[in-house]
């Protein structure tokens, strides 16, 4: 795995944010909504007290962490489609970039978001 190539792919998508409001909102608006919604729900349950509430709280925390996994998968799918739409996939696959590096960079990008 070559970190420079992973960084290059992350930069490629960060450049994309600069020019696309839709990609920008997709990266910040929905994760922010998730955090606010599940955060407030957790706080409400926590204030209620009780043992059952703790189980629900645990489930909600799991749900928030699941978002990280989901984000990683989402980034790979959407960005693969983006490369296909922009007819850039052949150019990318013909570079020294490996599939593992490409997936890692997108997963990292999803995690950052």
Q: How far is the CB of 106 from other proteins (least distance, A)?
A: 14
H or E element in which residue 94 lies: none
Nearer to other proteins, 7 or 112 (CB): 7
Q: Which residues contact residue 14 at a Cβ distance below 8 angstroms, ignoring those fewer than 6 apart?
A: none
Radius of gyration of the chain (CA): 18
Give the span between the Cα atoms of 70 and 63, in whole angstroms.
10
N-term to C-term CA, the chain: 22
Nearer to other proteins, 2 or 61 (CB): 2
Residues that bind other proteins (CB under 8 A): 2, 4-5, 7-9, 11-12, 15-16, 19-20, 82, 86-88, 90-98
Nearer to other proteins, 21 or 47 (CB): 21
Q: How far is the CB of 72 from other proteins (least distance, A)?
A: 21
């Amino acid at each position: 795995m070559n970190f420079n190539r992973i960084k290059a792919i992350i930069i490629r998508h960060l450049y994309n944010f600069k020019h696309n409001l839709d990609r920008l909102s997709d990266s910040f608006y929905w994760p922010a909504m998730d955090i606010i919604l599940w955060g407030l729900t957790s706080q409400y349950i926590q204030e209620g007290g009780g043992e059952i509430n703790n189980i629900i709280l645990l489930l909600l925390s799991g749900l928030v962490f699941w978002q990280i996994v989901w984000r990683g998968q989402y980034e790979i799918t959407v960005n693969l489609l983006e490369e296909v739409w922009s007819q850039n996939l052949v150019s990318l696959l013909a570079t020294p970039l490996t599939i593992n590096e490409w997936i890692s960079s997108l997963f990292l990008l999803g995690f950052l978001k």
